[in-house]
Amino acid sequence: MTQLTSKVGLIVGVANKRSIAWAIAQAASAEGASLILTYAGERLEENVRELAATLPNVTVLPCDVTDDVQIDALFENIQTQHGGLDFMVHGAAYALREDLAAPFSQTSREGFRIALEVSAYSLVALTRRAAPLMAARGGGSIVTLTYLGSDRVFTNYNVMGVAKAALEASVRYLASDLGPQGIRVNAISAGPIKTLAASGVSGFSSILQTYRDRAPLRRTVDTSEVAAAAIFLLGPAGRGITAEVLMVDAGFHAMGV
């Protein structure tokens, strides 16, 4: 029996075939899960539907994580179709390009709000609706995606680093809240990967090269390696782990000067 047989999972944040969330979706499907994938707006709908069509037992639904009406509709649909939820992957993140390019001190008030709302508060909003559906199944697992820029300064990461710091703090508080219901909440801090989100970070190629030069494994990681870690946290092997930020970055986080 595979690790996620008969499990129902929600995956938020698939943008295209390079998305970490898509790699996790593929891995979860291979482990036997039935999936709900979401898209944010018509621009991404076609991509998500084309990808979903390559996997069995996948439902595609809209969800703008800044819209409570859409979030409510998403979970009502999951309740109606599946009667509950076993796991959720949160991969939503966004910041205005101008706020990534400018010095952090120049971050606009609106840009700060957008980055924190989409990249951090959305985990809270989604988890609040997911929790009752997971509790009905006897518990569940939630995994979000973060980056080392939450803890250290990376050039041109700026407000997204602050948003990721808020996201990681949210993981700990949510884990404390939901642990008594058997619901685990964790994050994966992946090394730099060429995704749609990464394309907004100027000088990203130099970050990749720094990892190749400095990480103990002398390389970066790929989406399949992050997905494998996610399956560990989502499945029974990770049943004793919560409130954790799991580093999947070829060891770069351990290095000093």
pLDDT tens for 122-138 read 999 999 999 999 999 99
Catalytic: which of 39, 147, 173, 211?
147
Catalytic: which of 39, 94, 157, 211?
157
| Residue 121 annotated among the catalytic residues of the structure | no
Can you tell me the distance from the alpha carbon of 87 to that of 11, in angstroms, rounded to the nearest whole number? 9
| Residue 173 annotated among the catalytic residues of the structure | no
Mean pLDDT of 68-82: 98
State pTM to two decimals.
0.96
| CATH classification for the domain delimited by 8-254, as one of 1.10.287.130, 3.30.200.20, 3.90.1150.10, 3.40.50.720 | 3.40.50.720
Q: What is the DSSP string of the chain?
A: --TTTT-EEEEE---STT-HHHHHHHHHHHTT-EEEEEESSHHHHHHHHHHHTTSSSEEEEE--TT-HHHHHHHHHHHHHHHSS-SEEEE------HHHHHS-GGG--HHHHHHHHIIIIIHHHHHHHHHHHHHHTTT-EEEEEEE-GGGTS--TTTTHHHHHHHHHHHHHHHHHHHHGGGTEEEEEEEEPP---TTGGGSTTHHHHHHHHHHHSTTSS---HHHHHHHHHHHHSGGGTT--S-EEEESTTGGG---
Can you tell me the distance from the alpha carbon of 64 to that of 118, in angstroms, rounded to the nearest whole number? 9
Amino acid in position 33: A
Q: Could you tell me the pLDDT band of residue 257, with boundaries at 50, 70 and 90?
A: confident
More confident residue, 1 or 32: 32
- Exposed/middle/buried for residue 161 (C-beta within 10 Å: 0-12, 13-18, 19+): buried
Q: What is the pLDDT of residues 228-249, one digit of tens each?
A: 999 999 999 999 999 999 999 9
- In this structure, are residues 164 and 207 in contact, taking their beta carbons and an 8 Å threshold? no
Q: Could you tell me the pLDDT band of residue 205, with boundaries at 50, 70 and 90?
A: confident
Query: Residue 144: which of 217, 240, 255, 246 has the closest Cα?
Result: 246
Can you tell me the distance from the alpha carbon of 24 to that of 29, in angstroms, rounded to the nearest whole number? 8
